[in-house]
Amino acid sequence: MEVTEGTITVEVPEQPESGVGDDVFFNPRQELNRDITAAVLDVWRDRTGAQTYLDATAASGIRGVRAAASGWDATCCDHDERAVERCRENFARNELGGTAVHRDANAYMHESRFDVVDLDPFGTPIPFADSAFRSARELVCVTATDTAPLCGAHFESGVRSYSAVPHNTDFHPEMGLRVLLSALARTAARYDVGVTPVLSHVTRHYVRTYLELDHRATDANAAIDELGYVDHCEDCLYRTTSQGLIADPFDACPNCASARISTAGPLWLGPAHDADFVTAVRERVTEAFDTATRARRLLDTIATEIDTPTHYDQHRLSKQWSVSAIGMDEFLDRLEHAGFDASRAHYGGTTFKTDANVAQIERATVRT
Ligand SMILES: C[S@@+](CC[C@H](N)C(=O)[O-])C[C@H]1O[C@@H](n2cnc3c(N)ncnc32)[C@H](O)[C@@H]1O
Ligand SMILES: [Zn+2]
């Protein structure tokens, strides 16, 4: 079947359900992810003059073809011969130059350098992370679709893949993102590469992040300094963070004295986006994108989202305190009026972020 995204049309196999079956993979549900990538690449090239883009696990090549259509010197790599053939055909049918490579992505990245490397594999990207940080000069784009291991719902798998302890908390999207960022920062640091996340977004199905690279040992040290732990009480929902690689877990919750307090980490505790970059990406979302409205809404929320490494859900807290939920604008106003930072979180609905702790949120928002 033909699929049009942005200004290109590619041929992908007919699939009974997105991503199911053993033909060359295509998932229509990732269109928002791909549209945002197209906007990111435009901004990145404007800022740095970057030219070369590797779609390391390309399948139909739709990402590489879209990059080529906007002027990148694009390469699509896949270890499946049928996928590589699709990539070749898809470059040709759009009358675009572009290289299709039949190789194992790790082998290829170990011997080739690109300004931007994009990892969009099945499940965890970690098997490709070492070679991506060796190959990329400026930017690494990463999708992880193994959200259950990342957020601690599949605990052992998360520990194995990410060399971190995830916990299945109320803030599971944020947990997943920060487990992934931690593992990527530690991997990059092995090659004296420091990472700075310039944009990250999370849905139920995937985590997507864009990491700017700096190639000095001191940059790698700075990234490692962003790692630490989150302690979380399962009873009162209190949580707190501690910086560093040595965990110092609580025996009991400092807020309610419960012993049901768990420690997750090492997690990335630093910013997961750069607001100026996100705003610039939002400006490059065009009407040619089918997801333009959603993409702009998402990027607007991320641009204003504060940097705390966990988020809350007003409905969950209201239930906890046996009070009625109120409108989100009013709720956030009350927090700000009490002197705290507060913003919506891009996880939607009643999710929000604040630098207030759970007791402070209750005092600031619950009127008695
Ligand atoms: C999730 S699909 C890529 C989807 C595509 N980026 C898109 O947006 O539609 C993952 C692809 O990675 C390829 N792949 C898996 N392991 C690989 C490896 N070691 N080297 C190269 N390609 C690999 C698979 O053949 C598959 O085509
Ligand atoms: Zn507690």
Single out the residue of 128, 160, 130 nearest to residue 144, CA to CA.
128
Is the C-beta atom of 59 inside 6 A of ligand 1? yes
Task: Kindly indicate the confidence band of residue 15, based on its pLDDT and cuts at 50, 70 and 90.
Answer: low
- If one counts every other C-beta atom within 10 angstroms of the C-beta of residue 95, the result is 7
pLDDT of residue 21 exceeding 80:
no
Task: Give the start-to-end residue ranges of the domains of the chain.
Answer: 2-304, 312-365
CATH code assigned to 2-304:
3.40.50.150
State the pLDDT at residue 17: 59
Mind listing the pLDDT tens digit for each residue in 80-127? 999 999 999 999 999 999 999 999 999 999 999 999 999 999 999 999
Diameter of the chain by CA atoms?
67
**Cα of 2 from ligand 2 centre, angstroms:** 53
Q: 325: burial class by Cβ within 10 Å (0-12, 13-18, 19+)? A: middle
What's the CA gap between 327 and 322, in Å, rounded? 16
Among protein residues, the one with the nearest Cα to ligand 1's atom 14 is 57
State the pLDDT at residue 13: 86
Is the C-beta atom of 142 inside 6 A of ligand 1? no
Is the C-beta atom of 62 inside 6 A of ligand 1? yes
What's the CA gap between 8 and 197, in Å, rounded? 28
SS3 328: helix
140: tokens are: 């690494």
- List helix spans (H) across the chain: 31-48, 62-69, 81-93, 105-111, 126-135, 147-150, 155-162, 172-189, 217-224, 275-283, 292-304, 314-321, 328-337, 358-365
312-365 and 2-304 share a CATH fold: no
What's the CA gap between 294 and 296, in Å, rounded? 6
Overall pTM surpassing 0.75 (yes/no):
yes
Termini Cα distance of the chain: 60
- CB of 43 within 8 A of CB of 277? yes
State the pLDDT at residue 19: 52
Is the C-beta atom of 60 inside 6 A of ligand 1? yes
Partners of residue 313 on adjacent β-strands: 351
Partners of residue 264 on adjacent β-strands: 230
Please state, rounded to an integer, the average pLDDT across all residues of the chain: 96
**Cα of 172 from ligand 1 centre, angstroms:** 26
Ligand 1 atom with the smallest distance to the CA of 127 is 19
Domain 312-365 has CATH 1.20.120.160: no
**Cα of 136 from ligand 2 centre, angstroms:** 44
Mind listing the pLDDT tens digit for each residue in 253-305? 999 999 999 999 999 999 999 999 999 999 999 999 999 999 999 999 999 99
